[in-house]
Amino acid sequence: MKMYEPFAAACRASALPLEEGYPLRACTTLRLGGPAQYFHEATGAESLARLLALAQEHGVPVTVIGRGSNLLVRDGGVPGLVVRVGSGMSAITRSGCALTAEAGASLGALARRAAEEGLAGLAFASGIPGSVGGGAVMNAGAYGGELGPLVTRVEGLLPDGTPVAWDGADITWAYRRTSLMDSGAVLTRVTFALTPGDTEQILAEMTELNRRRAEKQPITEPSAGSTFKRPVGGFAAALIDQCGLKGASVGGARVSEKHAGFLVNHGESAADFLALMRLVQETVLRETGVRLEPEVRIIGVDA
């Protein structure tokens, strides 16, 4: 990997903490992947802006991650700087019927806060294991609900650390994709417009949705959620099951017997997981003519 010692020295001089060789497998629900060359845990927008400016000044590539629930890190790790926007930026505040959450807040925590405040609209998100920032960027959804229609404002930082903001109506929202992906911005806060509701009724709805999730999905096994996007006119899980791939494995990676749309990990090799993804894609394409696209985000280099 290219060395970036002047960048590291500049961060030390600016009291911006970096860790070298941080094990990224500890940052993902798949529990796979090599190390980050440099790693920073974000604690606020101001210090994050300074860090991004230094990285750009020194030509250091930056990779931003959230809670790692939709992330596969290759075995060789990630060159340059990895910034995790997680629990250090997770405050949630209320104003009227709106909740504003820092990007590192979990979607589960956001949904629970909304319920406690008697605000309806986010029950579907209570079981999504990702962060507010990552969820907004990819327009996360479940059980017929999506974040996009609820978002009224997104705040972030451009690659050089400059603050930027968008109204929700100015963002293009699509299935598991938004125009935020093309902006290069690191999200810092997202505001959601909700509606008054009954706390007990909202909590009951969340309980039922999470019961259904636990019944149908392998939530106790390491995974990145649905591995592939839903193809037009069908479901990835049904196609994978149709091709007889439930239980198929490469090394410690396996297609879940409980839900074929989930690839689960019981090994230590991201290469095995990627090989299983290719096997599934190639088999489904050959047998059905449908090309499955990954929903999981893949970063880093091979070992």
Per DSSP, the chain holds a count of helices (H) and strands (E) of 7, 21
SS (H, E, C) 37-104: EEEEECCCHHHHHHHHHHHHHCCCCEEEECCCCCEEECCCCEEEEEEECCHHHCCEEEECCEEEEECC
One-letter identity of residue 38? Y
Neighbours of 165 (CB within 10 A): 13
Q: Which position among 113, 176, 213, 297 bears the catalytic label?
A: 176
Under DSSP, the state recorded for 205 is H
Q: Does residue 291 have an active-site annotation?
A: no
CB proximity list for 83: less than 8 A, separation 6 or greater: 39, 40, 42, 48, 51, 52, 62, 63, 64, 65, 186
Q: Does residue 287 have an active-site annotation?
A: no
CB proximity list for 113: less than 8 A, separation 6 or greater: 92, 94, 99
155 touches 162 (CB < 8 A): no
Report the residue count for the chain.
303
Q: Which position among 205, 213, 295, 297 bears the catalytic label?
A: 295
Q: Which position among 69, 90, 226, 256 bears the catalytic label?
A: 226
CA dist., res. 216 & res. 226, Å (int)? 12
Classify 135 as helix, strand or coil: helix
One-letter identity of residue 292? L
Q: Does residue 179 have an active-site annotation?
A: no
Catalytic machinery residues: 176, 226, 295
